[in-house]
Structure 1
Amino acid sequence: MSGPSLMDSLFQRSLEDLIKGLRQQLIGEQAFISKSLEEIRKEIKSTDLSTKSTALLKLSYLSNLHFHDMSFAAFPALEVLSSPRFSHKKIAYQAISLSFHDSTPVLLLITNHLRKDLNSTNEFEVSLSLQCLSRIANVDLARDLTPEVFTLLSSNKLYVRKRAVAVVLRVFEKYPDSVRVCFKRLVENLENSDPQILSAVVGVFAELACKDPRSYLPLAPEFYKILVDSKNNWVSIKVLKIFSKLAPLEPRLAKRVVEPICDLMRNTGAKSLLFECIRTVVTSLCENESAVRLAVGKVREFLVDEDPNLKYLGLQALRIVAEKHLWAVSENKEVVIKSLSNADPNIKIESLRLVMAMVSEHNVSEISRVLVNYALKSDPVFCNEILGSILSTCSRNLYEIIVDFDWYVSLLGEMSRIPHCQMGDEIENQLIDVGLRVKDVRPELVRVARDLLIDPALLGNSFLHGVLSAAAWASGEYVEFSRNPLELVEALLQPRTNLLPPSIRAIYIQSAFKVLVFCLHTCFMRGKNIAPSASLDNMPAGVSASASYESFEDFSVENGADAAVVHDQTCASAPITKESIVNILNLVELALGPLLGSHDVEVQERARNLLGFVDLTKPGILNSSIQEKEDSEGKGVETSKIIKLMHDAFSKELGPVSSSAQGKVSLPDGLVLKENLGDLEMICGDIEPPSSNSFSFGSPYEEEKDGLSFSNLQIKEANEQSNESTSLLAEHRKRHGLYYLPSGKSEIISNDYPPANDPTLQGDINDNTDDLVKLTAESLVPKRKPNHGKPRPVVVKLDEVDEKPVARKQPESRDDSLSGAVRDILFGSEDIPPTSSQSNLSNSSKRKGKEKLHTDPHMESKESAVGDGNSSSRRRKDRSQGKERRHRSPRKKDDKERKDTGQKEKKKGSGRHKSRQRAEEPLKVPAQTPVIPDFLL
């Protein structure tokens, strides 16, 4: 297709026309953009560079603001880039920066354009090319253009040098070998007097020090000089970031820089610099008590400030210092507590984290009570933040701060009833986890589970279905601790359980199965004559097989390896009688009968199992007391055997399976396992796959019988089920009216689900923030360790996986190209400098009696290193060589090597080709023993 005509070029729409057209489009904006893109595709093929550049400019606008692809304009952008006009170059570089990436096909074609512009005499063209290089540089571009960047690092034009310093970071990352060429010149710029260049250089070193701070320890004197002399707040902030990384590596450096940082905190009026000083002290200089106290005093100024941004920064700094100095939070606890009611959500979250940092085993109950009160009157987001913080703090390190587990289980139940609670999954996990680990808490756990199960308001909250699942499981697993097992069966089979998901309803049915078996087993053991098949293992010690139990309270059940639990006579609300058992069996048949046709396989299977058990045991239970003849007695014996077998099966305590259990199984001898199962086809080749006819996806209930289809029967059963559900719900409401909300004067019973919990039902909540602050302040006061009435229960470790393995620190790799290149320049062949202790041991004998105290920091910053031998004589040799270099490597060069290097540099010409060749050659620095700068001694 030929390019656009001259008439089209004359009447080409500009970028301003495109923007006006977009703003006038009330509807159909996408259609307008599509039409504009079609015009741009035609215009960009023009041979006129002005037309092409305008089209490229419009395309850049659409790509930047409307995210349209402009990869098709990669080559036209290079064509515009070749234009001698600066306006065209500017548009081309902008388009290239937006669209080029490592996989762009024509990326290599830009190398010569960049090299040409980097050597241009126009500083603005050089700036554009440097900016583009910082965005699109890859390994090839960084390698090919390193000589040009090296030259620009010493440019006389400060604007160009600043841009070159900034692009060095990208070049180092893409091509680490460029460090050997450019690093010395980059370090020389640390002594530049221009604040913009100094800011750029310090920014580059701040980024490099974040990745591998140990490599930049020899540059500590230069950074110290900048910290002391700089009047630019931005430069000081960057230097503080560097020292926050270097100070933990060298204790002597920390002692040296703490005083200048404290002076900055006392004298500066800039809040940004003050905060950076505080953060440096609390993170890296926390061993200095006086500096920490000064920093905490400055933090209080942030906390009482009306500006929410400064208040947030103060809370954040206080949270950092709280990790090692908790007294700092206690001194400011009033401000922290009041911040819980702040309108800014970020401030509330930071204050919540500080409150949780003060939690210990002495005040966990008081703080949790106060925070639950805050959660009741907070918005849903912050309410769940509070609940999540309580759960994570209390469960830390296997509940190490929990002494009274009965209180904690009741707290979990109380948290479940908070209206905005959405932490059901975590509460579910902790209810099960505590029940498995702490045996002494199981009676209270069953009581809390019973209260959760009979509360109908929880069934409608989908976030709490997991809590109900845990409550149902605990009720069935630890039913022997229940005060009234019959009530648990009614709660598990209540009419409203059809609101639950099938997976949770299956747990309800299985738990009801366990509770029913326990009730039947208890009832049979209470008979005047215990069945002959009863095992003595399940009876209390000292009780014979002919013993008679007059009441349910006198019976004890042994669960697995646990000791027998003897119920107190006041525990049970009602004894288990034959009449109650028969009523429960009828309830099971009535509630689970409709579930035999459930579409969920798990629910259907559980219901069939329980109903099958009822069918086996109900005749024996009904006939056992009517006749005492042989026939009826035989049925009784058979029923007792079935009940005993099921009870024995459920009484075995099951723990979790170790996640590493499979790995502990040794492989049998001669067994060869292949990961890809390549021999599976050979082994199973004779087995024919089942035919498709053997599978039937139809429902077995869809067959018509006696002229009635299954759909008609289903409608009829649904009507009957609705009537039965209404009567069951009325009976349930009558028995547990406490958990239902009043429905008006008439007290009309309806099938409408009760609303979620009203905060007014949770008790009287004091809305006065000052009272809550006072209550919280009292709970945070350090108290003497209370004398608990009973020792802390044993928290069982279920698996060795509970203890998280300590992550081993990976050794520093010598293959890290960037860090290795920097170390080669600063340290020589050694990668890691010796620690302070090693350096003290090696130099103590040499410096004994000769150590001189330095009082001038400027003189200290000029002394770069101390090697083995007499350092003063070496310095005299250096001064005898003439003018001393401004930057000196930590390694001292021999006189012979320095002369050889000087002769080689004199022989090289000053042409462009020779300068590039010199830049591309890596610096040949002889390997020396790594040393610690004399500044740190």
Structure 2
Amino acid sequence: MSGPSLMDSLFQRSLEDLIKGLRQQLIGEQAFISKALEEIRKEIKSTDLSIKSTALLKLSYLSSLHFHDMSFATFHALEVLSSPRFSHKKIAYHAISLSFHDSTPVLLLITNHLRKDLTSTNEFEVSLSLRCLSKIANVDLARDLTPEIFTLMSSNKLYVRKKAVAVVLRVFEKYPDSVRVCFKRLVENLDNSDPQILSAVIGVFCELACKDPRSYLPLAPEFYKILVDSKNNWVLIKVLKIFAKLAPLEPRLAKRVVEPICDHMRRTGAKSLLFECVRTVVTSLSEYDSAVRLAVGKVPEFLVDEDPNLKYLGLQVLSIVAQKHLWAVSQNKEAVIKSLSDADPNIKIESLRLVMAMVSECNVTEISRVLVNHALKSDPEFCNEILGSILSTCSRNVYEIIVDFDWYVSLLGEMSRIPHCHKGEEIENQLIDIGIRVKDVRLELVRVSRDLLIDPALLGNFFLHRVLCAASWASGEYVKFSRNPLELMEALLQPRTRLLPPSIRAIYIQSAFKVLVFCLHTYLMQRGSTFSSTSPDNLPSVVSASVSDESFDNLSVENGVDATVTHGQICTPAFITNESIVNLLNMVELALGPLVGSHDVEVQERARNVLGFVDLTKLKFLNYSVQEENDSEGKGVEASNIIELMHDAFSKELGPISLSAQGNVSLPDGLIVKENLGDLEMICCDIELPSSNSFSFGSPCEEKDGVSFSNLQIKEDSEQSNESTSLLAEHRKRHGLYYLPLGKSEISNDYPPANDPILQGNINGNAVDLVKITEESLVPKRKPSHAKPRPVVVKLDEVDEKPVALKKFESKDDSLSGAVRDILFGSEDMVPTSSQSNLSDKSSSKRKGKEKQHTAPHVESKENLVDDGNPSSRRRKYRSHGKERRHRSPRKKTAEEREGQKEKEKSSHRHGRHKSGQRAEEPLNVSAQAPVIPDFLL
């Protein structure tokens, strides 16, 4: 390949030219970049390393800022890396860091380049290679370059040693066996006086301890010394993070470090160090009340700061401490409430969590009022955060903090009217759930549902259609609690319901069907003396119930309906006129007639059902209303029977069903559950299905030979029913294996009596100052003594209460942790006795220096942590606990073994008396399940 021409080298665009040209492109930026990439592809193939390195530099820029692929240049980067010039190496290493990954084909070719630069005398070249290795190291690179890293960790050039210590973390993760080579030297650097190297070492241990803190308990004395002696704030922050992981594992360690941490909190003026001290206390040292109170006393320094970052950190600390010490939040409630109006969204959300943490049965009403007022003034995102927090807190553990369900149902209605509310599905679920579970709230539920149905603003809000779905269902299901069912009917059939989705409109039609049946049934009950089919004894209890002696709160006559309401007791409409019934049926036909041609199957089917029922009622029931009684008594009785049957079908009360209900049904012995019913035809081959000739769709008024066709049809149906019953019984007898056993229903609809809910004021009334209201509401109060018990909330089984997944710490017993334990603890066959791990501070201090060591022979042969070059640096740091013993199968010792054991004990005892400050060279022998207790704690 011919060398580059002079013109190519002189007129090659530099990176500066590329950036300037890119900034001048107001339009057509992509075309300019495409052209530049074409130039780079040509230039990077040049044999001139200067041209190649410039092209590689431009390509790195486009890859970093514009995310263009540079994988095609990986081999060219290796070519530039071979250049002796430092500027070329710098460009090459940067490009390699951006483009190389574990699956890069030429990754193996970089090993020798890295080894050469790691052993270079130029510390900047060494630094570049270390930085690149920390980015691209894989298993092979970590294994091959571990000796060079080990050497650099003791380099006399502090700049290089710091980089080598930092890259060890990546090497340990990729190649855990390197721990056996480098870990000793990593620990030695804990004694380094240079703050940069110490910071790098502590940073490595901080990351390692976060993954498996139990393995690093033997290093607690070294960390403690740094905690006490170091003046570098960043080093102290990392040490505090380490102790936050170690303290929960060893109570005596927590007792030892709590006082130095409190001293740092009292003396330091750095907010970063103060915050880490406070967080360490509230997370890992919460059993020490004095330290917790000192930490909580420092929190206001963050909350009143103008820096939003510090304010957020203060709120975060309160969130942590609130889990065990709720009084800390009450002490700072003023600042917490003011933070709800902060401009920073993160601060607002954190303060909202703190407010919800203070909610209890005593103050839920006041706090909810304050938060709803905040939601009205907030942006849409925070508004829905507030509403979601109220809904989740109030529904927790099946509404355990709700005493007045009438108030809560009204609150749900008010929340639905907030302009930015997007919590329609959650509100729908709770309205239906409360209606099913709490019998005493159904009167207020129907009232709230009626107000929601007639609110025109809700029909046009897509996010609240689910709320209207719940309101329509409750209006139909509990229509007997309505003061004016005709008004409900008008709301359900109003023309604007065409704005609703078909699925919700179908529920509207079904609820209208229930209200229609209820109105007709009530009308028949009022004329019960005329229809002999219904005796006064069979009248519904809500109709025959006598009016209370208390004075009436309200008496309304609307649309021909009289309704009376007493204190907490509803009386159904006292009188429905003929005219109101006629108007009702006409309104149903007018509203549902066009829906017969709907394209939605649910809407069309339900509309046809209602209109068919209206046709029956008009033909038979209304004829009686306009004729003489003696002419149409039979038709009136038949009409009353049909309405009575429909009313009975809708009057069955729905109860809550457990999520595990199906699982509670035990399978009969011998029943084989199959995935499909392919053999059903063989089982039912002897069953003759009724012919299609037995079904007729003729007019119900059609008569033949003076006999009513409908009567003949009923007679034929009864005969077929008897025949089908006998066939079913015979089939059950023959194939009983495929039938579940008959039994009574397990769901009971009998609810114990409960108190009348207390009516609450309008939540959107005139509110006083927000902070003042909240301060009063958050003051601890005595639990109010309610005159009557709390309304009964039907609970099923433990499935109602959703289990909370507790996050437990699990030690990651991976190869890295195992290698570290082998170095620090020695062989895992050596396990301390139970008495060792339960030593008290007092007794252990008396025995310190006097106990004999029992070390296994095979431990002495293992590699210890003493560096031959610097024996004094490690000898004083590692000493086995005095009462370590081996757990081996018991057997009788020979005389020779006993003599050898005595000699070892004497030698160990003499060594302990010779230098009390020095530590034994053997590694500590403990297992991961029973961590060693460092001597400085005893």
TM-score normalised by structure 1 residue count: 0.78
Is 1:483 paired with 2:483? yes
Q: In 1, are the aligned partners of 2:380 and 2:420 still within 8 Å (CA)? A: yes
Rounded Cα–Cα distance in structure 2 between residues aligned with 1:927 and 1:496: 70
Match of 2:370 in 1: 370
Q: In 2, are the aligned partners of 1:437 and 1:798 still within 8 Å (CA)? A: no
Match of 1:821 in 2: 819
Question: Is the alpha carbon distance of 1:860 and 1:653 closer, same or farther for their aligned partners in structure 2, counting shifts above 3 Å?
Answer: farther
Rounded Cα–Cα distance in structure 2 between residues aligned with 1:537 and 1:92: 98
Question: Is the alpha carbon distance of 1:305 and 1:255 closer, same or farther for their aligned partners in structure 2, counting shifts above 3 Å?
Answer: same
Match of 2:911 in 1: 877
Question: Is the alpha carbon distance of 1:163 and 1:472 closer, same or farther for their aligned partners in structure 2, counting shifts above 3 Å?
Answer: same
* 1:398-419 deviation line (CA, Å, top 9, x unaligned): 2121111111111111111122
* 1:149-205 deviation line (CA, Å, top 9, x unaligned): 222222222212211111121222222232233222212211111111110111111
**Shift, 1:834, TM fit:** 7.3
Question: Is the alpha carbon distance of 1:532 and 1:73 closer, same or farther for their aligned partners in structure 2, counting shifts above 3 Å?
Answer: farther
**Shift, 1:448, TM fit:** 0.8
Question: Is the alpha carbon distance of 1:504 and 1:215 closer, same or farther for their aligned partners in structure 2, counting shifts above 3 Å?
Answer: same
Task: Letter of the 2:932 partner, please give it.
Answer: V
Aligned with 2:780 (options 782, 791, 813): 782
Is 1:850 paired with 2:850? no
Q: In 2, are the aligned partners of 1:533 and 1:640 still within 8 Å (CA)? A: yes
Question: Is the alpha carbon distance of 1:540 and 1:656 closer, same or farther for their aligned partners in structure 2, counting shifts above 3 Å?
Answer: closer
**RMSD (CA atoms):** 3.7
Rounded Cα–Cα distance in structure 2 between residues aligned with 1:221 and 1:849: 20
Match of 2:791 in 1: 793
Task: Letter of the 1:802 partner, please give it.
Answer: D
**Shift, 1:838, TM fit:** 5.8
Aligned with 2:882 (options 839, 862, 867): 867
Task: Letter of the 2:447 partner, please give it.
Answer: R
Is 1:71 paired with 2:86? no
Q: Which moves more between the two structures, 197-206 or 841-850?
A: 841-850
Q: Which moves more between the two structures, 291-300 or 568-577?
A: 568-577
Rounded Cα–Cα distance in structure 2 between residues aligned with 1:151 and 1:338: 57
Q: In 1, are the aligned partners of 2:416 and 2:424 still within 8 Å (CA)? A: yes
**Shift, 1:772, TM fit:** 2.0
* 1:94-129 deviation line (CA, Å, top 9, x unaligned): 111111122222222222222222222222222112
Rounded Cα–Cα distance in structure 1 between residues aligned with 2:423 and 2:258: 45
**Shift, 1:268, TM fit:** 0.6
Q: In 2, are the aligned partners of 1:834 and 1:932 still within 8 Å (CA)? A: no
Match of 1:352 in 2: 352
Match of 2:558 in 1: none
Rounded Cα–Cα distance in structure 1 between residues aligned with 2:243 and 2:78: 44
Match of 1:419 in 2: 419
**Shift, 1:335, TM fit:** 2.3
Q: In 1, are the aligned partners of 2:875 and 2:918 still within 8 Å (CA)? A: no
Q: In 2, are the aligned partners of 1:225 and 1:861 still within 8 Å (CA)? A: no
Match of 1:135 in 2: 135
Q: In 1, are the aligned partners of 2:452 and 2:458 still within 8 Å (CA)? A: yes
Task: Letter of the 1:19 partner, please give it.
Answer: I
Rounded Cα–Cα distance in structure 1 between residues aligned with 2:153 and 2:371: 58
Match of 2:933 in 1: 932
* 1:301-346 deviation line (CA, Å, top 9, x unaligned): 2223333332222222222222211112222222222333333333
SS of 1:575's equivalent in the other structure is strand
SS of 2:102's equivalent in the other structure is coil
Match of 2:444 in 1: 444
Match of 1:342 in 2: 342
Task: Letter of the 1:278 partner, please give it.
Answer: V
Task: Letter of the 1:868 partner, please give it.
Answer: K
Q: Which moves more between the two structures, 355-364 or 119-128?
A: 119-128
Question: Is the alpha carbon distance of 1:929 and 1:366 closer, same or farther for their aligned partners in structure 2, counting shifts above 3 Å?
Answer: closer
Q: In 2, are the aligned partners of 1:384 and 1:423 still within 8 Å (CA)? A: yes
Q: In 1, are the aligned partners of 2:436 and 2:654 still within 8 Å (CA)? A: no
**Shift, 1:654, TM fit:** 3.5
Rounded Cα–Cα distance in structure 2 between residues aligned with 1:201 and 1:345: 37
**Shift, 1:844, TM fit:** 8.8
Match of 2:619 in 1: 619
Match of 2:102 in 1: 102
**Shift, 1:62, TM fit:** 0.3
**Shift, 1:251, TM fit:** 1.2
* 1:582-620 deviation line (CA, Å, top 9, x unaligned): 212111111111122222222222222222222222222
Is 1:651 paired with 2:651? yes
Q: Percent identity?
A: 80
Q: Which moves more between the two structures, 514-523 or 376-385?
A: 376-385
Task: Letter of the 2:847 partner, please give it.
Answer: K
Q: How many positions carry a matched residue from both structures?
A: 798
Match of 1:751 in 2: none
Matches within 5 A, 1:439-478: 439-478=439-478
Match of 2:172 in 1: 172
Q: In 1, are the aligned partners of 2:849 and 2:912 still within 8 Å (CA)? A: no
Question: Is the alpha carbon distance of 1:322 and 1:815 closer, same or farther for their aligned partners in structure 2, counting shifts above 3 Å?
Answer: closer
Matches within 5 A, 1:347-746: 347-529=347-529, 539=539, 571=571, 575-627=575-627, 632-655=632-655, 658-661=658-661, 663-664=663-664, 669=670, 671=672
Q: In 2, are the aligned partners of 1:828 and 1:930 still within 8 Å (CA)? A: no
Rounded Cα–Cα distance in structure 2 between residues aligned with 1:125 and 1:244: 38
Task: Letter of the 2:118 partner, please give it.
Answer: L
Q: In 2, are the aligned partners of 1:370 and 1:776 still within 8 Å (CA)? A: yes
Match of 1:291 in 2: 291
**Shift, 1:65, TM fit:** 0.4
Matches within 5 A, 1:325-340: 325-340=325-340
SS of 2:487's equivalent in the other structure is helix
Question: Is the alpha carbon distance of 1:293 and 1:848 closer, same or farther for their aligned partners in structure 2, counting shifts above 3 Å?
Answer: closer
* 1:619-639 deviation line (CA, Å, top 9, x unaligned): 222022334567733333332
Q: Which moves more between the two structures, 601-610 or 465-474?
A: 601-610
Q: Which moves more between the two structures, 93-102 or 142-151?
A: 142-151
Q: Which moves more between the two structures, 480-489 or 58-67?
A: 480-489
Task: Letter of the 1:143 partner, please give it.
Answer: R
Match of 1:694 in 2: none
Rounded Cα–Cα distance in structure 1 between residues aligned with 2:569 and 2:919: 95
Q: In 2, are the aligned partners of 1:56 and 1:95 still within 8 Å (CA)? A: yes
SS of 1:341's equivalent in the other structure is coil
Question: Is the alpha carbon distance of 1:508 and 1:538 closer, same or farther for their aligned partners in structure 2, counting shifts above 3 Å?
Answer: farther
Matches within 5 A, 1:243-258: 243-258=243-258
Q: In 2, are the aligned partners of 1:891 and 1:930 still within 8 Å (CA)? A: no
* 1:519-558 deviation line (CA, Å, top 9, x unaligned): 22222233234756659996558999xxxxxxxx9xxxxx
Question: Is the alpha carbon distance of 1:831 and 1:378 closer, same or farther for their aligned partners in structure 2, counting shifts above 3 Å?
Answer: farther
Task: Letter of the 2:349 partner, please give it.
Answer: I
Q: In 2, are the aligned partners of 1:863 and 1:934 still within 8 Å (CA)? A: no
Is 1:15 paired with 2:15? yes
Q: In 2, are the aligned partners of 1:215 and 1:832 still within 8 Å (CA)? A: no
Aligned with 2:924 (options 890, 903, 916): 890
Is 1:158 paired with 2:158? yes
**Shift, 1:885, TM fit:** 7.7
Match of 2:311 in 1: 311
* 1:24-76 deviation line (CA, Å, top 9, x unaligned): 11211110000000111111122222221111111000010011111111121
Rounded Cα–Cα distance in structure 1 between residues aligned with 2:529 and 2:600: 43
Rounded Cα–Cα distance in structure 2 between residues aligned with 1:612 and 1:566: 37
* 1:778-837 deviation line (CA, Å, top 9, x unaligned): 1111111111132112222245422334647779577522222222222234499879x8
SS of 2:103's equivalent in the other structure is coil
SS of 2:794's equivalent in the other structure is coil
Rounded Cα–Cα distance in structure 1 between residues aligned with 2:327 and 2:812: 43
Rounded Cα–Cα distance in structure 2 between residues aligned with 1:179 and 1:378: 55
Rounded Cα–Cα distance in structure 2 between residues aligned with 1:188 and 1:872: 30
* 1:744-781 deviation line (CA, Å, top 9, x unaligned): xxxxxxxxxxxxxxxxx985545x7xx22222111111
* 1:333-390 deviation line (CA, Å, top 9, x unaligned): 2222233333333333322222222111111111111222222223333322222222
Match of 2:869 in 1: none
Rounded Cα–Cα distance in structure 2 between residues aligned with 1:833 and 1:237: 33
